[in-house]
Amino acid sequence: MSAFNSIPAWLNANSNSFAPPVCNRLMHGPDGQLFVMYVGGPNQRKDFHLEEGEELFYMEKGDMCLRVLEQGVFRDIEIKEGEVFLLPGKIPHSPQRFKDTVGLVIERQRTEKEEDCIRYFMEGLPNILFERWIHCTNLGTQIAPIISEYFASEEHETGKPSENSVVHNPPFYPDADRKLGNPFSIVQWLEENKDKMTENGKVRMFDESYQTDVFVVGGAQSTTFPANNTAEYWIWQFRGESDLVLDEGDSSDLLSRHYHLHEHCSYLVPVGQGFSLQPPTREAGSGHTIIVSMDPNNKERSRSKIYSLVIA
């Protein structure tokens, strides 16, 4: 898989993957640290997914519904075209997708000790009907056998849990206290934060109560991101252009370290490599670059930030 992509060209080349029965295609992964994928539809489902990491959603074309269990109550979160939503870890969620839609989803590789849960609830109730826990390396291939097991199960036939329905000592419990945010338009967010980007060069899109770092670069100065030894960076040239300069490469061949990112292009920076972004012109606000990083070490940061918000 190429580190560099023109997103429109990539979507066009893989358009057959976004309709049933496949409905999704990885741009990066599953062998890397970040799983960057685009997902189509229709795909209506009743299974819920639980993981310790987070998931970033953006709707490229059309709308979707993300069904979640929030503080013990089911909630449908509508993510409209052009909107972004960051789902915290440990939240039961079930994406509902519709025909002729395409959305971006980013999540991270699991650590060796992390497990995911595929869970079904009793009809209309937050009570567990059936669940299975797995160490997830490729959810696309691992989920199908669990779904098949469920549809052949006594629980599916009767609508009632059995002795083997629930793991009594699970790897973790859902976060029943977290209040979720709402999706928002990236274009509107850029307009609301243009002065901050002009002044600071980069602005954090989500606060540190999340594990995921999403920065937007939009100033007139060069902006540097240090090497991260546990996480990749996904760079998305959302608007305008920028020059990407990698920290490492052949010093005698500058072209090996330099990439000119046109609008709607992306680049995956590997673990252990830093970079800088430079505007091709000095006109502030002429380009906006989104940088996504999902460091598993930020789980502790997220917990401490949430705790401080609660006691405040």
Predicted local distance difference test score (pLDDT) of residue 219:
80
Is residue 49 a known part of a binding site?
A: yes
Q: Which of 158, 177, 210 is the last residue of a domain?
A: 158
Is residue 97 a known part of a binding site?
A: yes
Predicted local distance difference test score (pLDDT) of residue 311:
47
Q: Are 43 and 140 part of one and the same domain?
A: yes
Q: Are 285 and 240 part of one and the same domain?
A: yes
Q: Are 8 and 153 part of one and the same domain?
A: yes
Is residue 156 a known part of a binding site?
A: no
Is residue 28 a known part of a binding site?
A: no
Positive or negative torsion for Cα 94, 59, 301, 225: positive
Q: Are 104 and 239 part of one and the same domain?
A: no
| Whole-angstrom distance, CA of residue 203 vs CA of residue 193 | 8
Instruction: Supply the range of the domain harboring residue 212.
Output: 193-311
Q: Are 218 and 149 part of one and the same domain?
A: no
Beta-carbon contacts of residue 47 (< 8 Å; ≥ 6 apart): 94, 118, 119, 120, 143, 146, 147, 150
Evaluate whether residue 200 is within a structural domain.
yes
Q: What are phi and psi of 109, to 5 degrees?
A: -60, 145
Evaluate whether residue 62 is within a structural domain.
yes
Q: Which of 135, 158, 181 is the last residue of a domain?
A: 158
**Per-10-residue mean pLDDT for the chain, 312 residues long?**
93 94 89 96 95 99 99 98 99 98 98 97 97 90 91 96 93 97 98 93 96 94 94 97 83 68 97 92 76 96 61 48
Is residue 264 a known part of a binding site?
A: no
Q: Are 269 and 144 part of one and the same domain?
A: no
Evaluate whether residue 293 is within a structural domain.
yes
Q: Are 231 and 104 part of one and the same domain?
A: no
| Whole-angstrom distance, CA of residue 136 vs CA of residue 117 | 9
Evaluate whether residue 176 is within a structural domain.
no
Helix or strand run (H / E) with residue 108: strand 102-108
Predicted local distance difference test score (pLDDT) of residue 257:
81
Q: What is the CATH number of the domain that holds 8?
A: 2.60.120.10
Q: Are 222 and 150 part of one and the same domain?
A: no
Q: Are 108 and 220 part of one and the same domain?
A: no
Evaluate whether residue 167 is within a structural domain.
no
| Whole-angstrom distance, CA of residue 85 vs CA of residue 180 | 10
Evaluate whether residue 169 is within a structural domain.
no
The domain tally of the chain equals 2
Is residue 288 a known part of a binding site?
A: no
Evaluate whether residue 188 is within a structural domain.
no
Predicted local distance difference test score (pLDDT) of residue 309:
46
Q: Which of 111, 143, 158 is the last residue of a domain?
A: 158
Q: Are 197 and 255 part of one and the same domain?
A: yes
Answer yes or no: pTM beyond 0.75: yes
